[in-house]
Amino acid sequence: MNPWLLAGTTFFASAVEFVEAATIVLAVAYTQGVRAALLGTLGAGVALVAFVGLGAPLLANALALEHIELVVGPFLVLFGIAWLRKAVWRYAGRKAQHDEAAIFAREVAELRADREHHHGIAVAFQGVFVEGLEVAVIVVTFAASTPRLVAWSAGGALVALALVIVAAIALRAPLARVPENALKSIVGVMLLSLGTYWTGEGAGLQWWLGDSTLFAFIAAYACIAALLVGVHRRAAAA
Amino acid sequence: MRLLREIYDFITGGSRLTPFGLALAVIAAFALPTMRAEAFTALVVATFVASTFEKPT
């Protein structure tokens, strides 16, 4: 596994989720104060760090590498298909584009209707925890398959987190300009490609091009997704 | 029951098809005497393609 590819995948996956979390946290800070937003965010951050810290070593110690690939690979395939098909639907117009500005407005309206301080903390906690959980699962599973590259996997997520925090502080507004569907497409292709490769390797398959088969999968899935966007667009227009 | 449903949706993105398609692909990877890599890859790709024709979630 190329460490840059690994870090890049966790970076893009994390960036998408952190943008969504930042939108919710900003809505809480805007309506119920920075303290409530920070308390909820810190609580969720601790819970996520505990999940990653406990999950990776448990998985890595419990199973041999080929068994880990067979356990982790199918989850990556499922996540990859879930992300990529949503991106295809959005590009084809079968599903609304993810609109952070609309989410921000909805959160603000709901929070203004409820002035309870602890409700704001709970909303920030839930937003950060739920959005971060998918990233945590990806970081844990990648680290489990290649334990020596755990720093690269976590590093990609941390760089994304730092960039989103800087952007959130600088903008203090929904990060709607981030091309979320493009990021989700890239992550979907990466997850699906890695998942296919690892599941097959875990099942004892001999890949045609050795390790380079992974890059063939990336190219093939990107082309198939682009073709599917065209097919669904035509079907929607007909 | 609701929790199980939420966990299922979290993992599969709400697809009813992908877990079965993937299970079939893994079974093919273990069970077939020849062309295992080809059959496995074709089934995973077919599962992805078919899943895009499900109702958007």
Residue pLDDT tens, chain A, 238 long: 678 877 887 888 778 778 778 877 877 777 767 788 888 888 888 887 787 677 666 655 655 556 767 877 898 899 889 989 999 998 998 877 666 667 777 777 776 666 556 667 777 787 788 778 777 777 777 666 666 777 888 888 889 888 888 887 776 655 555 566 787 788 788 889 988 998 998 899 999 988 789 889 999 999 999 999 999 998 877 7
Type of residue numbered A194: L
Of B44, B49, B56, which is closest to A95 when you measure between CB atoms? Answer: B56
Of B26, B45, B52, which is closest to A199 when you measure between CB atoms? Answer: B26
List the one residue out of A24, A57, A5 whose CA is nearest residue A132.
A24
CB–CB of A224 and B56 under 8 A? no
DSSP A114: -
Q: How much is the ipTM here?
A: 0.94
Residues in B closer than 8 angstroms to A77, CB to CB, are: 18, 22, 44
Residues in A closer than 8 angstroms to B56, CB to CB, are: 86, 89, 94-95
Q: A3-32 and A100-113 helices cross at what angle (nearest 10)?
A: 40
Residues in A closer than 8 angstroms to B12, CB to CB, are: 78, 82
Q: Is A24 exposed, middle or buried (0-12, 13-18, 19+ CB in 10 A)?
A: buried
Gap between the Cα atoms of A157 and A145, Å rounded = 17
CB–CB of A77 and B13 under 8 A? no
Cα angle for residues A198, A201, A203 (degrees, 5° grid): 110
CB–CB of A85 and B15 under 8 A? yes
Neighbours of A31 (CB within 10 A): 20
Answer whether B51's CB lies under 8 Å from B17's CB. yes
Is the pTM higher than 0.80? Answer: no
